[in-house]
Structure 1
C-alpha cells in the first residue's frame, strides 16, 4: 500500500549553556559579526548617509518693474536711465528717457508667470553710435515646495560690439544659482532685500561693480542665461535704439539637504540589504558549530512521546 505524508512539523532542538561559557561568548561574537560588518560595509561603500537630494520646481517669479539701463557710445560717453528716481537725479547730465513696454505671460495657465516680454525704445541722437548695452531687471523670486525661499533677484543683460547697433534682441532664461544646498524645511528670507538701494543718494551705490559685488556674495541668486543674443546694425536716421526680448522662468533642479527621517530611511534600506546576507551566513556557522558540538553545549530534544502518533 502506498504511503502518503499527512502532516509534518519541524523538530525544535535547543542548545543550552551557562552564562559564563564558551558557547555564550561564541554567540556574543556571532551577534557582533552579524550586526557591525554590514554597517561598516554600507557606510564605506559611499552613499549611506544622504547629504544632498534634489527635486524640481517652477519658481513663482514676478517682475518688480525695476530697471537700470546703461548704453555705451563709440566715443566713450554713455547715456543711462532707471526706474529709481534718486539715480536719475544723480545722472541728470547723462539721463535719457526710453519708451518701456513690459508684459508677463502665463503660458500654461497654472497661475504662475512663465515669461517676461520687454521692449525699450531709447531715443538716442543720430550722432550717437551705441556699441554696448548693460541692463538690470529686478524680480521677486519664490520657492515653496520644501523650504520657503523668498528673495529679490535680478537678470543682468549685456552685449558689446565694435559695430554701432540699431537693435539688440535677448531671449533667455532666469536661472537659479546655488552655492549651498537649501534646507528641507523652514523659511529663508535672508536675501529678500533690495538689490539696488533706491533711497541712496550716493552715486557709488548705483554702480554696476558695487551692485554685483553685493549680489555675488549671496549663496542663492539668479542669472540671465542667453545663448543666442542678436546685435543688429544699420540704425536709420531719427530711429531709436531698440532693446527687446524675453526672460523665461523655467522649472529648476534644486539641491537641498534631506531631513532626519529621509536620511534614516535611505540608510536603513542599504544597511538591511547587507544585513540579510550576514544573517544567512552566520546562521550556517551556528548550525555547523552546535550540531557538530564544536563547542560543547547541553542538547535538549523533544521527548519521544511527543514525536509518536497516538
Structure 2
C-alpha cells in the first residue's frame, strides 16, 4: 500500500548571538542592504517617481462673443477692423462700417452639456476698388476642465491667412487643442482660475502698440493656452465686393498633463520597490544561510528538538 504526502512543514534552525558581535553586525548590514539596494536600483533605472501624468478629457468650451477681426487690403491705409470686445480702445476698431454680419452657433450632438462644435461666420464688405490681402481673426473662448484637474480660463483661438489673389471667402476647419508649457497643478476641490480673465481687458488706451500685437504678446506669456489644429482650409477667389469668413471648430478630447499627488506617486513607486526587494531578500537569505551554516561567524545554533541550556 502506497503512502501519500498529506502535510509538510519546515524545521526552523535558529542562530543566536550577542548584541556586540560580528554575527550581529553582519545581520544588520544585510538587512539594511535589503532595504536600501532595491530603492537605489529602482531610482537609478529611471521611472521610479512620476514627474508628470496625463489623461484625456473633453473640455467645456463656449464663445464669450468677444472677437477681433483685422482685414488688411492692398492699400495699407485702408484696414477693416471689427471687434465686439467692449474693452478694446475706440481707435482700435477702424472701418467698422464695413462689418456687415456675424453668426455664432454652438452644437452639442450627444447632449452631455459639452459643445462638440462651434461655428463662426463673418461677412464684411470690401472697400470700393480694394481687395483683401490678409485676415487675422482672434476669438475668445470660455474653457473649462472638470474631471481630474479643474480648470477655468479665458482663452483665444487665432486664425491667420494671407491671400495672393482677389478673394471672396475663406473656410477653415480645425480642432481646438489644449497647449501647455507647464504641468497643471492638481488640487482636490480647487479650481485653477489663474487665467480666468479676458486678455482684451488689458488693452491699454495709452499704449500706442498695435492691438493685435499686444494681445498676442500677452497671450503667449501664459503657460496654459489653446491652439488650433488645422484639418482643412479653402479660399474662394473672385471679385464680389464682399468677403465671407466661415470657421468650423471641433472640440475633441484633449490631453491634459498635470503634476501627480504624493499618494499617486507612491501607488506607482511601491510595486517597483517591492518586486526588487523580494529578489534581494531571496539573495541575502541564501548568503546568510551559507555564512551561518559554514560557521563563518560565531553564533549559537538552536535546534527545535534540543532544549536550549
In structure 2, C-alpha distance between the alignment counterparts of 1:12 and 1:170, rounded to whole Å: 78
Q: Over aligned residues, Cα RMSD in angstroms?
A: 2.2
In structure 1, C-alpha distance between the alignment counterparts of 2:167 and 2:23, rounded to whole Å: 91
1:234 is matched with which residue: 233, 238, 259? 238
In structure 2, C-alpha distance between the alignment counterparts of 1:79 and 1:291, rounded to whole Å: 93
Q: How far did residue 16 of structure 1 move?
A: 1.0
Which residue of structure 1 aligns with residue 75 of structure 2? 75
For 1:219-244, what per-residue CA distance to the aligned partner results, in whole angstroms no more than 9, with x for missing partners? 111122224321221133xx421001
Which residue of structure 1 aligns with residue 134 of structure 2? 132
TM-score (structure 2 length as normaliser): 0.91
Q: How far did residue 118 of structure 1 move?
A: 1.3
TM-score (structure 1 length as normaliser): 0.91
For 1:261-303, what per-residue CA distance to the aligned partner results, in whole angstroms no more than 9, with x for missing partners? 0111111111111111100011111111112222221111123
Q: How far did residue 87 of structure 1 move?
A: 4.1
Unaligned regions of 5+ residues in structure 2, if any?
Answer: none
Q: Give secondary structure in 1 for the equivalent of 2:292.
A: helix
> What is the total number of aligned residue pairs between the two structures?
303
In structure 2, C-alpha distance between the alignment counterparts of 1:86 and 1:34, rounded to whole Å: 66
In structure 2, C-alpha distance between the alignment counterparts of 1:223 and 1:10, rounded to whole Å: 67
2:263 is matched with which residue: 261, 267, 275? 261
Q: Give secondary structure in 1 for the equivalent of 2:184.
A: coil
Unaligned regions of 5+ residues in structure 1, if any?
Answer: 306-310
Alpha-carbon distance change, 28 to 3 in structure 1, aligned in 2, over 3 angstroms: same
- Equivalent runs, 1:71-150 vs 2, <5 Å: 71-76=71-76, 77-85=78-86, 87=88, 89-91=90-92, 94-95=95-96, 96-150=98-152
Q: How far did residue 4 of structure 1 move?
A: 5.3
Q: Is the 8 A contact 2:88 2:203 kept in 1?
A: no
Which residue of structure 1 aligns with residue 226 of structure 2? 222
Query: Residue 190 in 1 paired to residue 169 in 2?
Result: no
Query: Residue 13 in 1 paired to residue 13 in 2?
Result: yes
Q: Which moved more, 1:227-236 or 1:183-192?
A: 227-236
Which residue of structure 2 aligns with residue 308 of structure 1? none
Q: Which moved more, 1:81-90 or 1:277-286?
A: 81-90
